[in-house]
Amino acid sequence: MERYCSVTLDYGSKSLVFKSEAGINLHKALLLNHSGISSPCGGKGTCGKCKVVVSGELSPPTEIEKSKLTRQELDAGVRLACQAVLTGDVKIRIKDEKSAFIQIDGLPYKVGISPVSQRIQIHLPGTSLTNCPDDVKRLRDGLQRDHLKISRSLMAKISNLLNEREQDILATVTEDELADINIFAEQTPDYGFAVDIGTTTIVGYLVNLITGEIEDTVSELNEQAAFGADVLSRISYGKENAEGNRVLHDKIVSQLGHMLKKTVERKGLAKDAICGISVAGNTIMMHFLMGLNPFRISVAPFTPVFTSSYFCRGEEIGLAYHPRCPVYILPSIAGYVGADIVAGMLVCSLLDPTRTQLLVDIGTNGEMALSREGAVLCCSVAAGPAFEGAGIRWGVGGIDGAIDSVDLKDGTLKIHTLSDKKPIGICGSGLLDAVSIMVQNGIIDEGGRFAEPCEWSPEAAGLWDRMQEINGEKVFVLTGPGCLPEETIFLCQQDIREVQLAKAAVHAGITTLLNNQGTTPEQVDAVWLAGGFGNKLRKESAVNIGLLPKELAPKIRFAGNTSGVGAVMALLSKDCRDKCDIIKTKARYLELSALAGFNDTFIESIGFEA
């Protein structure tokens, strides 16, 4: 007989209780009860990030937990949720990571307005025995569009809404379809919702379709993160669990609906005022949104189901909150160069034939595109999760308390944390700064190994006491003296290796694009860094560690959330939607794993240059 346990979740400010079957691990119990926690490896026991503090009845710590957790953590009741199996009632303390820093802003945009869809007010004359056209004809005549498509489900609505008397109607119309009709009540502006679905975060922009202005933004962590931090973990969750892909699809669509509802209510709008949605994101997120199985993108030859732009209505993707709303999905280029990069190319005008430009978006994958004389070459490299905080012993995302910058001034190491909170870990930008300082001052050598203090620069001489041994391992401590052992944040040799692999992948990708386009770094007019990480990093640190070729340093510009701004532009303008299709047609994708010589370029990029 199944036994049930009581699980109490203590979030500090609130608590929640649910019943769960005994014998399953905490990670699964939390997922089943819609209380996902950070689990970058998707519950495989490799990332060590699903830490929870638990009291109550659980299986004893596994070997994996003993290797991932310190003695002090184990003594304090810290467990890995994906390893600890429920044997009785428990109480779990969870750190709320909702206050993450999410990139919302981007480059300013200016477009002509011809939105994905708009509402048109029409007056329908009444019918009589001598003049009785059918309702569909009356609507088409009223809109002066003889061939407008009208779905069966909309005809069902029409059959209940129209009558033989005169009526004023508000029709939501796309380029070729009547998407919805309602009885006209009052004249209010049309709005649209542009969405950037990132693997880590989702940002939605409420856009006034008359003025073109963004009137509200709503941003949240992607709730799919509970199934893995990166797209590959989520694909494997979808493959290994019956209904896994459906669960991931439901998560993304319900979160989209919930975010839309949030902004609609906040602005006091009627739901029907939202007459169009545009969505950009990586190819795998677009597959999950559409309810498609993305598995083949994860194995050679990395084939997506679709990459073209796609129009549908909300109901087709299961958007229960607004089923009749037209939805436009931007085109992608390949399995690992998605609609987010197409949006970025649109925002940064990569098709401009007069300029040579490079767009780089660094996340778990580093995606990049190089344009020259209007021809675009793009590729994607597996940068690994280091810059997103995973795979690094004390790595965290951009959350309160994350060390986001590190400086060495007058021989003193200074750290800064997000929201000036007590340090709880280090995020990508802080990691880059720390490694840059270590490279510049000889604390690590060209091969990435910790050097002997006698080889350090005089500027770093005062940091010798930061080289310590913790749990039998040589580490460089970032937090100041006086920290409790369990709060001492450090970088170990393996962390440096992870950074090396990530930076080498990005550097090699850029070098390969330049070589294949016959372009030198000097010929590049602008380098656009897109995305949350790109926006926070310091140019000097990125160049010092060799993430970007040093000749490009003076040309670096921060472009912000180009995926979000591109989605806004596509929502507003037919010209921009057409440009997205042109970008898709013109961009040539370079599959690096099939390219002779890429491995050599990667290996050449792996060392550090002081």
Footprint of ligand FES on this chain (CB under 6 A)? 39-41, 43-50, 80, 82
- Provide the minimum distance between the beta carbon of 90 and ligand FES in the complex, in angstroms, as a whole number: 16
| Closest C-alpha to 139, from 190, 127, 130 | 127
- Minimum distance, C-beta of residue 84 to ligand FES, in the bound complex (Å): 10
Which residues does 509 contact at the CB level (< 8 Å), separation at least 6? Answer: 366, 368, 379, 380, 381, 592
Which is closer to ligand FES, CB of 5 or CB of 52? 52
If you search the block for the tokens 């069966």, which residue do you land on?
152
In the 8-state DSSP scheme, what is residue 566?
H
Alpha helices (H) along 151-282? 152-161, 231-240, 244-266
Residue pair 475/469 in contact by the 8 Å Cβ criterion: yes
User: Which has the closest alpha carbon to 117: 52, 176, 44?
Assistant: 176
Q: By C-beta, is 391 or 398 nearer to ligand FES?
A: 391
Cα separation, 332 vs 323, in Å, equals 24
Residue 238: CB minimum distance to ligand FES, A: 16
CB of 246 to ligand FES, least distance (A): 21
Report yes or no: 65 and 103 within 8 Å, Cβ to Cβ.
no
Residue 103: CB minimum distance to ligand FES, A: 25
Closest contact distance (angstroms) between CB of 317 and ligand FES is 28
Beta bridge partners of 52: 79
Q: Is the Cβ of residue 44 or residue 588 nearer to ligand FES in the bound state?
A: 44
Nearer residue to ligand FES within complex by CB, 82 or 124: 82
d(Cα 416, Cα 420) in Å, to the nearest integer?
7
Contact 287, 293 (CB under 8 A): yes
Nearer to ligand FES, 79 or 539 (CB): 79
- Beta carbon nearer to ligand FES, 46 or 114: 46
* Of residues 51 and 466, the one with the C-beta less far from ligand FES: 51
Look up tokens 């779990």; give the residue: 92
Residues 6+ apart with CB under 8 A from 15: 8, 9
Question: In whole angstroms, how close is the CB of 63 to ligand FES at the nearest point?
Answer: 13
Q: Which one, 66 or 422, has the nearer CB to ligand FES?
A: 66
Give 50 or 545: the residue with its C-beta nearer to ligand FES: 50
Taking the complex as a whole, the smallest distance from the CB of residue 50 to ligand FES amounts, in Å, to: 3
Residue among 49 and 503 whose Cβ is closer to ligand FES? 49
Cβ partners under 8 Å of residue 31, min gap 6: 226, 227
Kindly state the smallest distance separating residue 73's Cβ from ligand FES, in Å: 13
CA 547/CA 499 separation, integer angstroms: 9
Edge-to-edge strand order for the sheet containing 357-362?
Answer: 556-560, 526-530, 357-362, 365-372, 375-382, 587-589
ω into residue 301 within 30 of 0, thus cis?
Answer: yes
Shortest Å, Cβ 53 to ligand FES: 15
- The helix (run of H) or strand (run of E) holding residue 495 is helix 493-516
CA 538-542-543 angle, 5° bins: 120
* Residue with the two structure tokens 């998707």: 42
Which among 130, 123, 58 is positioned nearest to 87, based on CA atoms? 58
